[in-house]
Amino acid sequence: MAGAPVKPTPLLKDELDIVIPTIRNLDFLEMWRPFFEQYHLIIVQDGDPSKTIKVPEGFDYELYNRNDINRILGPKASCISFKDSACRCFGYMVSKKKYIFTIDDDCFVAKDPSDKDINALEQHIKNLLSPATPHFFNTLYDPYREGADFVRGYPFSLREGVPTAVSHGLWLNIPDYDAPTQLVKPRERNSRYVDAVLTIPKGTLFPMCGMNLAFNRELIGPAMYFGLMGDGQPIGRYDDMWAGWCVKVICDHLGWGVKTGLPYIWHSKASNPFVNLKKEYKGIFWQEEIIPFFQSVVLPKECTTVQKCYIELSKLVKEKLGPVDPYFLKLSEAMVTWIEAWDELNSAGEDSNVPAKK
Amino acid sequence: MAGAPVKPTPLLKDELDIVIPTIRNLDFLEMWRPFFEQYHLIIVQDGDPSKTIKVPEGFDYELYNRNDINRILGPKASCISFKDSACRCFGYMVSKKKYIFTIDDDCFVAKDPSDKDINALEQHIKNLLSPATPHFFNTLYDPYREGADFVRGYPFSLREGVPTAVSHGLWLNIPDYDAPTQLVKPRERNSRYVDAVLTIPKGTLFPMCGMNLAFNRELIGPAMYFGLMGDGQPIGRYDDMWAGWCVKVICDHLGWGVKTGLPYIWHSKASNPFVNLKKEYKGIFWQEEIIPFFQSVVLPKECTTVQKCYIELSKLVKEKLGPVDPYFLKLSEAMVTWIEAWDELNSAGEDSNVPAKK
C-alpha cells in the first residue's frame, strides 16, 4: 500500500546457489563480490578438465570439471554436455538449495538510470518470492511491485496469483541476438532500460536466455535441462532455448508462472557471430518445427509432477521431432537419463549424497 | 539498423480522427493544442444535449449530442449509451478515417523521464504502423522499435509480424484502478515510466482502458462497441473492458495484433470511488463469469470479417451470459443493432452519408 514501509527483500543466503559455467575472466567475480560473496557458488567447468580455474579468495564455492561429472554420474554423465556452457545444468542437479541463480562470466554489474549498481540477485529474489499472473494480462505490469497493483477490469479471483517458478533477467549493452542478427547489426547495443517485470501469459512461449536467469529449483529444477550441445553434437546455443520451451510448457501445465524483465546485467562482449552461425545453423531450421511442436503439446492430467511431465515430453519429442532429425532421438533419451540422474542425486530424505570438491 | 537515419513518423493528418467523449475542461484542448490542432476532432457529448460545449478557436471539429445521435440513427440509437462516456463509440461509427485516437478530457500531456512533453498521438501512430507479434514473446519487447530487434531463439518465420489493430496507451499519476482498489489505496500514484511497447500474446485477454487508446478503424472498428452503460443500465465503467474483450478475441481469430505500453498520458484526477463502486458493483461479480466466457470463445472459420465475428459473438453472449443476468440479453441485441447501424453508416462506396454538425 502506498506509504507503507517497503519490506526488505530476504537474502535467502542458505537457500540459494549461484551456478556459473566456467570462469574465464577473473574480473567477473571481483566485480560481483559485494553481491555474491555471501552465497555459495557452484562452478561447472565446461572445457579441458586439466586446466585450473582460479577463484579469488573469500568466495565459498565448489568446482566440478568433466572428470567430476563422470565420476559422480557414471554412465549417466552422457546427458551432460561437454565443451559447452550447457554443462551448467549439472550444477542445478548437484545443488541442494531451493533457488538457483545462473549467470555467464561475461555478464557484469549494470547500472540503473540513476547510475546506481543493480543488485541483480536481489531483484531475482523479489521476482521469485512474489506471485505471477499468467492467466490475465495486467497492463501496469507486475501488480505486486511497489506502487503498482491490478488495474480496473482485472478479475478479483485471479489476484492471488500463482507461484513463480522462473525469473528471466535481461541484458544491457550487447543484446542476446542470433548470429544472423549479429552479422546484420554488428553495432547495435541495448541501451533501453525498461523498468518492468511481467508474467509471460499461459500458452505463450518465449526465448529463455541462460545468461541471467533464476528459478525455484524445488518447483521446476528437473525441467531445467540444457540438452545436448557442444562437443559431438550438431548444434549449440540452443541449450537455454530448449530448457525454456520445456519449462514453459510444464509451468503452464502445473499452474506456475514465468516472469521476465528486470533485473538487467551488463553483457560485456558479443560472441563471435561466425562461430555462432556454425553452432546455430541447424537450430535456425529446427526451431521452425520445434516451436509449433511445443505450442501444440498437451500434457495429460496424470502428469502431476515435473518428472512425470518431463518424461512425457521426452516421449513426445521422440515421436514428433524424431522425424525432423535423429538428433532428437538422442536428445529424447538424454532427457530420460537426465531425470534418472536428477532423481538419483535428489532422492527424498538424502541431503549430501554428492561429494563436493573444493 | 543501428546508425541508420530514423524515419519520421507520418502524421496521418487525413487518415485519423480524434474522438472525445464530452469536454468538461477547457484546459484540456488548450494543453493538447500543439498535438491535436492539425487533426479533425469528433466530440460526442455524453450528457444533457441542451448544454453547450465550448471548443476553443482553431480546432477543426464536429460535435454530436444525444439529439444528433437519435436523428442520425433513428431507432438504432438505442445501442448508444446515454449519460456515459461509452457514447464515444458513436464517434467511431461516424468517422470516415482509417485510424481513431480516443482520449478522456481529464488526460493531459505527460512528460517523459527527460522532462520532455510526450506526443502521445505520434507514439500511437508508430505502434499502429508497425507490425505486432502475438505468436511468440520477444523478451526485448517491441522488436520493431529503434535499437531493438528479435532476440536469439525467435523463429524467423514469425518476424514479419501481423497487422496491428489496437494501440493501448497507459497513464502516469492516477492509475486506472477499480473502486475497491481506489478505496484501499487512495494515495497511490503511478510514477513508473516503463519505456516499452509490447504485443499482448494471442489467447491472452487484457483490461483495455478507453482513456488513451488508438486503433485501426478499418481493421477492427466494428468490434469497438462500448456496450450499454450509464442511464437506464445496471452497470457502468465496463464499456472499454467489454470492447477490449470482444476486440481481443476477434483480433486473435483474424490474426491481428494488440499492443500495450507507450505512450503515457497524465491522468489528472481520480473519479469518485463511491460513485465508481456503485457503477462497477455488478461488473465486479459479472467479470468473474465474463472473462472465462471470453477465454473459451472459439469463433468458427466462416467468420472471416469483423462483422461476422461480432454477430457470432453476440449469439454466444446471449447463450452463455444470458443466464447470468437479463442485462446480457439486452446487450446481445444491442451488439446486433450496433453492427446494423455501423454498416448503414459505412456502406461501401458512400463517403458522406452523415450530416456533420458544427
B103-150: pLDDT as tens digits: 999 999 999 999 999 999 999 999 999 999 999 999 999 999 999 999
The answer to whether the Cβ–Cβ distance between A200 and B170 falls below 8 Å is no
Alpha carbon distance A276, A178 (integer Å): 8
| SS3 letters across A228-252 | CCECCCCCCCCHHHHHHHHHHHHHH
| B44 contacts B22 by C-beta, under 8 angstroms | yes
Res A353: pLDDT = 44
Q: A302: which residues sit within 8 A by CB, 6+ positions away?
A: A308
Chain A residues with beta carbon closer than 8 angstroms to that of B287:
153, 155
Q: Does B136 touch chain A (CB under 8 A)?
A: yes
The answer to whether the Cβ–Cβ distance between A153 and B194 falls below 8 Å is no
H or E element: which one contains A27? helix A26-36
Q: What is the DSSP string of B182-205?
A: HHH-TT--B------EEEPPTT--
The answer to whether the Cβ–Cβ distance between B137 and A206 falls below 8 Å is yes
Exposed/middle/buried for A25, CB within 10 Å: 0-12, 13-18, 19+?
middle
Q: CB-CB: which of A154, A168, A196 is closest to B207?
A: A154
Closest Cα of chain B to A9: distance in Å? Answer: 20
Chain A residues with beta carbon closer than 8 angstroms to that of B298:
none
CATH topology (fold) of B16-348: Spore Coat Polysaccharide Biosynthesis Protein SpsA; Chain A (3.90.550)
A–B interface: beta-carbon pairs under 8 A: 189
The cell numbers describing A30, all together, are 571481483
Alpha helix segments (H runs only) across chain B: 26-36, 66-73, 89-94, 120-129, 179-184, 217-220, 239-254, 273-296, 306-316, 327-345
Its pTM stands at 0.95
Chain B residues with beta carbon closer than 8 angstroms to that of A184:
1
Q: Does A146 touch chain B (CB under 8 A)?
A: no
Q: State how beta strands B107-108 and A60-64 pair.
A: unpaired
Closest Cα of chain A to B144: distance in Å? Answer: 13
How many helices (H) and strands (E) chain A has is answered by 10, 9
Chain A residues with beta carbon closer than 8 angstroms to that of B244:
153
Res B123: pLDDT = 98
Alpha carbon distance B230, A13 (integer Å): 55
| Average confidence (pLDDT) over B67-79 | 97
Phi, psi for residue A100 in degrees, rounded to 5: -125, 140
CA distances B143 to A98, A343, B131, B138, B255, Å, are: 35, 40, 9, 7, 18
Q: CB-CB: which of A175, A195, A209 is closest to B192?
A: A195
Q: CB-CB: which of A150, A200, A291 is closest to B155?
A: A291
- The amino acid present at A148, given as its one-letter code, is A
Give the long-range contacts of residues A317-323, CB within 8 A, separation 24 or more.
Answer: A317/A293, A320/A293, A321/A289, A321/A290, A321/A293
- Name the average pLDDT for chain B: 94
The answer to whether the Cβ–Cβ distance between B147 and A188 falls below 8 Å is yes
Q: Note which residues in 91-110 of chain A have CB less than 8 A from chain B.
A: none
The answer to whether the Cβ–Cβ distance between B205 and A138 falls below 8 Å is no
| Average confidence (pLDDT) over B194-209 | 98
Asked whether residue B346 carries a pLDDT value surpassing 50, the answer given is yes
Asked whether residue B65 carries a pLDDT value surpassing 80, the answer given is yes
The cell numbers describing B245, all together, are 474483450
* Closest Cα in chain A to B244: A153
Chain A residues with beta carbon closer than 8 angstroms to that of B3:
187
Res B98: pLDDT = 98
The cell numbers describing B200, all together, are 499482448
Res B8: pLDDT = 87
Question: Residue A49: which region, alpha, beta or left (left: phi > 0; alpha: psi -120 to 50)?
Answer: alpha
Q: Note which residues in 230-269 of chain A have CB less than 8 A from chain B.
A: 237-238, 240-241, 244, 260
Q: CB-CB: which of B2, B145, B181 is closest to A187?
A: B2
* Tens-place pLDDT, residues B213-227: 999 999 999 999 999
* Tens-place pLDDT, residues B23-41: 888 899 999 999 999 999 9
Alpha carbon distance A140, A146 (integer Å): 11
Closest Cα of chain B to A33: distance in Å? Answer: 28
What ipTM goes with this model? 0.94
Q: CB-CB: which of B140, B152, B205 is closest to A190?
A: B140
Chain B residues with beta carbon closer than 8 angstroms to that of A156:
180, 284, 288
Res B325: pLDDT = 98
Res B351: pLDDT = 46
Asked whether residue B312 carries a pLDDT value surpassing 80, the answer given is yes
* Tens-place pLDDT, residues B233-281: 999 999 999 999 999 999 999 999 999 999 999 999 889 999 999 999 9
Chain B residues with beta carbon closer than 8 angstroms to that of A195:
192-195
Helix, strand or coil for residue B66?
Answer: helix
The answer to whether the Cβ–Cβ distance between B177 and A152 falls below 8 Å is yes
Chain A residues with beta carbon closer than 8 angstroms to that of B194:
141, 194-196
The cell numbers describing A281, all together, are 545453423
The answer to whether the Cβ–Cβ distance between B206 and A136 falls below 8 Å is yes
H or E element: which one contains B114? none
Res A352: pLDDT = 44
Closest Cα of chain A to B301: distance in Å? Answer: 19
Domain boundaries, chain A: 16-348
Chain A residues with beta carbon closer than 8 angstroms to that of B246:
none
Question: Of A85, A139, A178, which to mutate for an interface test with B (greatest number of B Cβ within 10 Å)?
Answer: A139
Say how many C-beta atoms besides its own lie within 10 A of residue A184's C-beta: 13
Question: Of B114, B138, B152, which to mutate for an interface test with A (greatest number of A Cβ within 10 Å)?
Answer: B152
Q: Does A281 touch chain B (CB under 8 A)?
A: no
Q: Does A168 touch chain B (CB under 8 A)?
A: yes
Alpha carbon distance A227, B265 (integer Å): 46
Res A4: pLDDT = 56
CA distances A263 to A111, A197, B72, B227, B264, Å, are: 10, 8, 55, 41, 23
Res A334: pLDDT = 98
The answer to whether the Cβ–Cβ distance between A237 and B152 falls below 8 Å is yes
Q: Does A203 touch chain B (CB under 8 A)?
A: yes
> What is the C-alpha R_g of chain A?
20
- Place B348 in a pLDDT band, splitting at 50, 70 and 90: low
**pLDDT tens track, chain A, 358 positions:** 444 567 889 999 999 999 999 888 889 999 999 999 999 999 999 888 999 888 999 999 999 999 999 999 999 999 999 999 999 999 999 999 999 999 999 999 999 999 999 999 999 999 999 999 999 999 999 999 999 999 999 999 999 999 999 999 999 999 999 999 999 999 999 999 999 999 999 999 999 999 999 999 999 999 999 999 999 999 999 999 999 999 999 999 999 999 999 999 999 988 899 999 999 999 999 999 999 999 999 999 999 999 999 999 999 999 999 999 999 999 999 999 999 999 999 985 444 444 444 4
